[in-house]
Amino acid sequence: SPLNPLFQAMESEVSAAFDSGEPEDVLSRAFKLSVTREDICTLQPRGWLNDRIMNFYMGLLVERSKKEGYPAVHAFNTFFYSKLSSTSHKGVKKWTKGVDIFEHDVILVPVHLRTHWTLLVVDLREKTIKYFDSLGQKGDHICKTILKYLEEESREKRNIELTASEWTLHSMGSEEIPQQNNGNDCGVFVCKFADFISRDKPIIFTQEHMPYFRRKMVWEIIHQQLL
């Protein structure tokens, strides 16, 4: 097929990213982040994605959302939720300096729970807060924490009271979204949940797609471009 040479070129590029050179080599720079070969190697099979890979990928999703026909997306940094939950709105007030999050359609909040990545998604169009966990755990308290944050942010920045009762909070069940069947793909699941949601697409991938998604993400991060 005509795609084969392209696919082979991509494959050899991905292999080179993993195999040749020093761990501290910088392979991509954007969004005030430098991604090294060591970071990229977390995308190898069974690797645990780190904050830099997660934040870089969220940056790519936000960039894409500025194009015609995509929902407007705001993504918080992976450190946002732990800071918010350990302090309060005051502790993260400066994180939205110069940004009105309420002008967006979708807000992505990657959540790091010690050794597990999950995703919280605010849809401002639908007034929903949904929690996506590829191990099927509930995150109702995380949804509530974010709703409280939105109330305080709205009051502070726009002087508008949100009506909490208009909002729907929901932890996605294991029968509603794909689940991982190992202990290391949670970061990839979070990135792909965010990818599909930020295009308003139904989440139709499965555990089987993970090896392919990992390699694809290497290429996308190095080229700073989503395929």
Reported residue count of the chain is 227
- Structural domain total, the chain: 1
pTM confidence score: 0.92
Q: Respond yes or no: is residue 116 known to be catalytic.
A: yes
Residue 167: exposure state from Cβ atoms within 10 A (0-12, 13-18, ≥19)? middle
104-121 pLDDT tens trace:
999 999 999 888 999 999
102, with CB counted inside 10 A (0-12, 13-18, 19+), is middle
> Strands, DSSP E only, in 49-96?
73-75
3-class SS of residue 87? coil
- Catalytic choice (41, 51, 89, 116): 116
- Looking at residue 25, the DSSP 8-state letter turns out to be -
Kindly state the average pLDDT of the residues 78-100.
91
Alpha-carbon distance values, 20 to 27, 39, 221 (Å): 12, 14, 17
3-state class percentages of the chain: helix first, strand second, coil last, to nearest 5? 45, 15, 35
36-82 tens-digit pLDDT: 999 999 999 999 999 999 999 999 999 999 998 899 999 999 999 99
The boundaries of the domain holding residue 182 are 5-223
Q: Which is the catalytic residue, given 39, 133, 185, 195?
A: 133
Instruction: Tell me whether residue 133 is one of the annotated catalytic residues.
Output: yes
Q: What is the CATH number of the domain that holds 114?
A: 3.40.395.10
Q: Is 89 a catalytic residue?
A: no
Active-site residue (options: 39, 112, 143, 186): 186
